[in-house]
């Protein structure tokens, strides 16, 4: 942001985006809108302010409420104050700079009458910071920066690790790469990174973990398909799917296509990638083209086999099902605040319907790998256990990598759940 855009302008644009997120729109939709409207603030600056603020949303909400002595301001001013508090906490600017630029942003937002109020509240925050920190600890939602229902679910499910999971959800996500084994080796690509001054360490398989995140344009060979960006937890799918040459494989909820591509990079199989969204299917096709891969991409709802299945069963099925995304909340910090506790029942019903439909197209002795990027047992262990218990011929298998089904978010990977189910003949 330094030198690229005035902070006042960036605060204005970020506040406009966040007021819409607070009203229920996704942050991804807001970035699409910003690109279409040609907002002058650089994307990197908006990412920093919006993602940083939403990772601390419970905290900044608490601070505004605690410091506002004339009642709560209107929604746009609240959003400006949230972003300004994040800028103060970030340590990237002197406090007087943030206060000055936030006051200037009032005029840019047509809220000139609120300049004194914004100035006073932010100065009070600077003076009373230590006192407010003590008060904040008594408010779980503000302290852990997650909704209360989310905190309760994790505390019940992971009595020893719930605080660790919440802390990870507020952190910056790691950036991992997947080396395309059809074009280069992990060792050779790591050497190319080192030659370009980019530090990375191998995580096993095709995964490399970057020491620092960077734009894909800086990755050697990215445009020529030598490497992709994919979390190490997501790369686990290929290791657990038990692939072999010649198999007929289905990726049933394939978009954006990272796991499909990894399957084709790893084994000579006949892959069909399904997704219900045509635009996302086009993205899968573009990814295959960049990576030099060949697979069938089809727009279809996997729960309706009568509309897309040719009657030939699949030896392997990957069911990376829609879920709460609670294991990747640090990548999409609006998710924590857009989700509701009642959403879990809807996700579970959809997941159960997908499993039931895909079971029909799985070959005898075939294997289905159920995957979510969730840490909630309602979408994972409870759902899979219920499916296996009620489904004749369904047998749970140990995972080939010897790791537990549930990976919690950590410094090297996001939170993912994997369960391998065999259809006994």
Q: What CATH number corresponds to the domain at position 197?
A: 3.30.70.1170
Distances (CA, A) of 296 to 3, 250, 276: 46, 10, 14
Q: Is residue 164 part of a domain?
A: no
pLDDT of residue 389: 97
CB 27 within 8 A of CB 334: yes
Q: Is residue 169 part of a domain?
A: no
Three-state SS at 55? helix
pLDDT of residue 46: 94
Q: What average pLDDT does range 385-402 have in this prediction?
A: 97
Q: What average pLDDT does range 387-401 have in this prediction?
A: 97
In 3D space, the residue among 325, 323, 322, 314 whose CA is nearest the CA of residue 242 turns out to be: 314
Alpha-carbon span 94 to 107, nearest angstrom: 21
**223 and 307 part of one domain:** no
**217 and 84 part of one domain:** no
φ and ψ at 222, to 5 degrees? -60, -45
Domain-terminating residue out of 191, 215, 230: 230
Alpha-carbon span 371 to 240, nearest angstrom: 10
214-237 confidence digits (pLDDT tens):
999 999 999 999 999 999 999 999
**Residue 83: both structure tokens together:** 């972003």
DSSP conformation class of 325 = -
pLDDT surpassing 70 at residue 4: no
396 beta partners: 421
Report the range out of 26-40, 70-84, 312-326 with the highest average pLDDT.
312-326
What's the half-sphere exposure (Cβ side, CA atoms, 13 Å) at 158?
17
- Domain of residue 399, CATH code: 3.40.50.150
pLDDT of residue 336: 93
**384 and 266 part of one domain:** yes
Average pLDDT, the chain: 95
Alpha-carbon span 307 to 321, nearest angstrom: 19
The dihedral formed by the CA atoms of 304, 335, 47 and 255, expressed in degrees to the nearest 10: -10
**194 and 286 part of one domain:** no
What's the half-sphere exposure (Cβ side, CA atoms, 13 Å) at 184?
20
Q: Is residue 328 part of a domain?
A: yes
Residue with tokens 């942001």: 1
pLDDT of residue 1: 43
89-137 confidence digits (pLDDT tens):
999 999 999 999 999 999 999 999 999 999 999 999 999 998 999 999 9
**286 and 403 part of one domain:** yes
Alpha-carbon span 364 to 343, nearest angstrom: 34
Stated pTM of the model:
0.92
Taking the alpha carbons at both ends of the chain, their separation in whole angstroms is 60
Alpha-carbon span 31 to 19, nearest angstrom: 13
Q: Is residue 155 part of a domain?
A: no
373 is known as an active-site residue: yes
**Residue 146: both structure tokens together:** 């997650």
**213 and 287 part of one domain:** no
Query: Which residues are within 8 A (CB) of 152 and not within 5 positions of it... i.e. 6 or more apart?
Result: none
Q: What average pLDDT does range 296-302 have in this prediction?
A: 97
184-203 confidence digits (pLDDT tens):
999 999 999 999 999 999 99
Three-state SS at 172? coil
**282 and 369 part of one domain:** yes
Q: Is residue 29 part of a domain?
A: yes
**202 and 320 part of one domain:** no
Domain that residue 112 falls in: 7-143
Q: Is residue 309 part of a domain?
A: yes
pLDDT of residue 70: 74
Structural domain total, the chain: 3
Domain-terminating residue out of 143, 162, 194: 143
Q: Is residue 160 part of a domain?
A: no
**195 and 83 part of one domain:** no
Query: Which residues are within 8 A (CB) of 170 and not within 5 positions of it... i.e. 6 or more apart?
Result: 55, 56, 144, 145, 146, 330
296-299 and 362-372 beta bridge pairing: unpaired
**378 and 274 part of one domain:** yes
Three-state SS at 154? helix
Q: Is residue 310 part of a domain?
A: yes
- Domain of residue 41, CATH code: 1.10.940.10
**127 and 57 part of one domain:** yes
Alpha-carbon span 157 to 69, nearest angstrom: 39
| Active-site residue, selected from the candidate residues 253, 302, 323, 373 | 373
**196 and 271 part of one domain:** no
Burial 221-259 (b: 16+ CB within 10 A, else e): ebeebbbbebbbbbbbbbbbbbbeeebbbbbbbbbbbbb
**Residue 375: both structure tokens together:** 């840490």
């Amino acid at each position: 942001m330094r030198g690229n855009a005035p902070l006042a302008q960036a605060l204005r644009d970020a506040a406009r985006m966040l007021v819409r997120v607070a009203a229920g729109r996704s942050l991804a939709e807001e970035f699409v809108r910003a690109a279409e409207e040609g907002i002058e603030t650089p994307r990197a600056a908006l990412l920093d302010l919006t993602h940083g603020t939403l990772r601390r949303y419970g905290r900044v909400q608490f601070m505004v409420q605690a410091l506002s002595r004339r009642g709560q301001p209107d929604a746009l001013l609240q959003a400006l104050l949230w972003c300004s508090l994040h800028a103060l906490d970030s340590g990237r600017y002197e406090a007087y700079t943030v206060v000055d630029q936030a006051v200037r942003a009032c005029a840019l937002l047509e809220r000139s009458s609120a300049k004194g109020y914004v100035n006073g509240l932010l100065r009070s925050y600077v003076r009373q910071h230590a006192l407010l920190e003590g008060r904040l600890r008594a408010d779980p939602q503000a302290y852990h920066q997650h909704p209360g229902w989310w905190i309760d679910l994790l505390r019940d499910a992971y009595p020893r690790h719930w605080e660790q999971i919440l802390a990870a959800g507020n952190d910056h996500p790691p950036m991992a790469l997947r080396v395309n084994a059809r074009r280069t080796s992990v060792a050779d690509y790591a050497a190319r990174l080192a030659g370009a001054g980019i530090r990375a360490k191998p995580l096993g398989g095709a995964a490399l973990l970057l020491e620092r995140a960077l734009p894909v344009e800086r990755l050697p060979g990215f445009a020529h398909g030598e490497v992709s960006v994919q979390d190490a937890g997501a790369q686990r799918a290929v290791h657990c799917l038990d692939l072999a040459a010649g198999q007929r494989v289905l990726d049933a909820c394939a978009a954006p296509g990272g796991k499909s591509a990894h399957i084709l990079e790893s084994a000579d199989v006949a892959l069909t990638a399904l997704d219900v969204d045509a635009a996302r299917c086009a993205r899968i096709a573009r990814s295959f083209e960049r990576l030099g891969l060949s697979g069938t991409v089809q727009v279809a709802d996997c729960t309706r086999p009568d509309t897309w299945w040719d009657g030939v069963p699949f030896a392997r099925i990957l069911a990376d099902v829609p879920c709460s995304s609670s294991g990747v909340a640090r990548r999409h910090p609006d998710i924590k605040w857009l989700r509701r506790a009642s959403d879990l029942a809807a996700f579970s019903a959809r997941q159960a319907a997908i499993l039931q439909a895909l079971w029909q197209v799985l070959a005898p002795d075939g294997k289905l790998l159920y995957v979510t990027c969730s840490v909630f047992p309602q979408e994972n262990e409870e759902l899979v256990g219920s499916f296996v218990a009620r489904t004749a011929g369904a047998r749970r298998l140990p995972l080939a990598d010897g790791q537990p089904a549930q990976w919690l978010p950590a410094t090297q990977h996001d939170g993912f759940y994997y369960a391998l189910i065999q259809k006994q003949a």
